[in-house]
Every structure is written in C-alpha cells, then in structure tokens.
Amino acid sequence: MRSRVWGGTAAVVLGGLLAVGCGGGDRGRTDTADDGGGKAGNPVSGDHPVTVTDCAGARTTFSAAPEKIVTSNASGLELLLRLGAGDKVIGTGFPPGKGTLPGALDTEARKVTVLSRTVVPKEKLLGSGADLYIDTFAAMGGMGGGGMGDAPTEEEFTAAGIKHIYLKSTACAATAKKPVTDLSAVEADITTLGAVTGTSAKAKRLVAGMEAKVDAVRKAVGGTAPSERPTYFFFDYDAGTKQPTVVCNRQVAHAVITLAGARNVFADCDGDYRQVGWEDVIARNPDWIQLGVRDRGSEAANDKAFDEAERWLKSNAATKGLKAVRDNHFVRVGSERTTIAGVGNADTVQQIAKALYPGKVG
C-alpha cells in the first residue's frame, strides 16, 4: 500500500466498540481477557486496564495510561494534541509542517521531538524509551528501504517494552470488507486513544462536535436523491499528474465525499487508493473536482498551490474539456483534512457541502 503521510499526518473491543489496526496473532502483552469483569470492560470511563484489539483480533492491554508515546506521523500526533495528551508525546515521524495545525496546536506540535522527517528508523524507534507507538498505516514498515531502516517486529516491540497499536480508520482501510460511508472508524480511533491515554471525557466532546457538524449537513442535503447528487473527483495533485491516483471506497475521503452529499466517481473501486489513466477520469466526467493539495504552511502558499492545480487542469489537453473544469466547479480543500483521519474530517464534510449546495448548508 502506498503510504499517505505527507505534510509533515483502536477501537476498543471492550464496551462494544470497534477493534483497531491491522495485523495478526496474539502479541503476548500483559493481556487481561474481556471476560465481562473488571474495569477492562469499560474503556469509555478512562479507567484502566484498557484492552484494544487489531483487525485480526490480537489484543493489547494497558494497565495504566502510557507516559512516553511516539507517533508514526502527524495524524496520530494531532489527535493526541487535541485530546490534551500532547505532553506524553516524546517523538514523531513525518512531523506536521509549520502552520499546518491551527493555533495553539501548531505551537504544541513544534515542541515535539522530530525523530525522523519520514519513517522513524527501526533502531531509533526501539531505543526511544517509548512505552507506546501509534502507527497510522499498517504498511508503514514497508517503506523501510532507502536508508530508513526496517520496521520492528512485534517481538522486537515487546522486547523494547513498547506497545504497538494502529489507527483503524487508516491502517485497515485497504482490507476493509465494505465501503466506508461514515466517520465512525475515525471516531472510534479518537474514543480509543481517549480511553488509552485517560482522556475519554475530551474524546467524547471531540466526537460529539464531529457528529453535530455532520448531522447538520445530513439534515440540509440528506433529502437529495442519490441520482441528483453531483459526481465528485478528488484530484490528488501532489501525487503526480502523469497518472492520477484516485481515492477508492475504503478510504476515509470516500466517506467525507459521501457525507457531503456527493458521489465519488470512483466509488466502484474497492480498496483505499488506485492509480488509473486520465481516460478513466474523462469517461466519468465529474461535476465537481476537489483540488487536493497538501498544506504548504500558510494561506498564501496554499492558495498558490490551489492555483497551480487548477491551472494544470485547465491547460492540460486531457482534462480541460471536463464538465467540472468548464464550469469552474472546483473545491479548494486540502488533502490532509480529507484523506487522513482526524477531527478535521467533519469540517471538510461541511466545506464540501457548502460548495456543492450553496444556501442549504450554513
């Protein structure tokens, strides 16, 4: 799987929540089984022990909140900052670019030690002193070439005293059994991290805020018949223009597009991402195109990038005749808030809906 970790970007089985991450087998943690007894069955309270599972059912138990956390990229880091657990983060890979996080979050993010601008090398991760590593993508270790080191095995994580969990909404996207049409997996990630870090109250508020925004859009545009909803193409400009990379129906962006009242033109693509030909995009002739550029760190720089993406579509022989291009139907919302799991996904739902349904969405 091609990692989406630019920009500098589990649900708990107990208590009826979803499982996180991908992988398999029992990891040999200090696991207290979910037998219906004790605090392990109530992770939402923030009490410990808390047990989380991955997609294959392997369990990881936390007898107490972790004190030293390393995140694989900016996605996990931002969630921890929003939960108020940023002081527990001792390092990150793929740090967020300066200015990409709002206000105080950006200031806090600047204080976190950058262990690598890309994938954290194996030796550095295992020797970091962390007691928890939060992995955004299950295939992260597959990027270990090019001098970045191999991914640690679960046995090596255990030997180093590091528990290893994933963000379900992104780590399990490629192998999900059905299309993702809501943000429940993202919300489960937030709920899980809240339970693990003892910040469940804040997690509950974050999830409630997301649900309120999405519900408002649903009330405004939910009555629109599926056949009348505009078709929509996420143009991943920064992934390269020679051969477009499209978001498929297991990617969180598909849920964002669907919730905003649009139809992803590649909704029939099973998986998270796929490379197609421009002839495939032309055949689907979208009503709207999102200019998916990655955050450059300032409004001015972002506007310049959006302009570049729009100019490319208008000048390229293969795309200038597309309906969306002819009608100037462009949505200027950055890639990270669309394709990477986070609180901002709900904001993107609102932004897209406002563009597509002017006057209906406040």
Tell me which of 20-29, 145-154, 305-314, 350-359 is least confident: 20-29
Q: How many distinct structural domains can be found in the chain?
A: 2
pLDDT category at 260 given cuts 50, 70, 90 is very high
331 in the same domain as 276: yes
**Inside any domain, residue 49:** yes
For residue 149, CA distances in Å to 3, 125, 208, 266 come to: 16, 10, 40, 35
Do 33 and 134 fall into the same domain? yes
Which segments within the chain are labelled E, that is strand?
A: 50-53, 59-62, 69-71, 89-92, 132-135, 163-166, 231-236, 245-247, 263-264, 273-275, 288-292, 330-331
Average pLDDT (197-208) is 97
Residue 249, domain extent: 224-356
Asked whether residue 76 is domain-assigned, the answer is yes
Q: Rounded mean pLDDT of 31-60?
A: 58
**49 preceded by a cis bond (ω within 30 of 0):** yes
Separation of alpha carbons 337 and 347, rounded Å: 8
Q: Are 268 and 193 found together in one domain?
A: no
264/257 Cα distance (integer angstroms): 6
Say yes or no: 174 and 309 in one domain: no
The Cα–Cα gap between 143 and 232 comes to 31
Whether 187 and 297 share a structural domain: no
Average pLDDT, the chain: 85
The answer as to whether 5 is a domain residue is no
CB 231 within 8 A of CB 263: yes
Q: Is residue 75 part of a domain?
A: yes
Whole-angstrom distance, CA of residue 132 vs CA of residue 117 = 19
- Examine residue 319 and state whether it is found in any structural domain, yes or no: yes
Pick the last residue of a domain from 156, 183, 198. Answer: 198
CATH number of the domain residue 280 falls in:
3.40.50.1980
End position of a domain, from candidates 163, 198, 233: 198
Average pLDDT over residues 14-29: 36
pLDDT band, very low/low/confident/very high, at 28 (cuts 50, 70, 90):
very low
Q: Clarify whether residues 165 and 284 are in a common domain.
A: no
Instruction: Among 13-17, 136-140, 251-255, 274-278, name the one with the lowest average pLDDT.
Output: 13-17
Q: What is the mean predicted confidence (pLDDT) over 187-205?
A: 97
Taking residues 36-53, report their average pLDDT.
Answer: 57
Asked whether residue 147 falls in the same domain as residue 257, the answer is no
Residue 214 lies in a domain: no
Of the given ranges (65-69, 113-117, 179-183, 293-297), which has the lowest mean pLDDT?
A: 293-297
Q: Are residues 228 and 192 in the same domain?
A: no
Q: Residue 138's pLDDT is what?
A: 75
Domain match, 52 and 192 both: yes
Among 198, 213, 242, the domain-final residue is: 198
Q: Kindly report the CA angle at 333 between 284 and 271, in degrees rounded to 5?
A: 50
- Which pTM does this prediction carry? 0.84
Query: Does one domain contain both 148 and 258?
Result: no
Residues 146 and 255 placed together within one structural domain of the fold: no
Identify whether 219 is part of a domain: no
Within-domain flag for 6 = no
Same domain? 190 vs 267: no
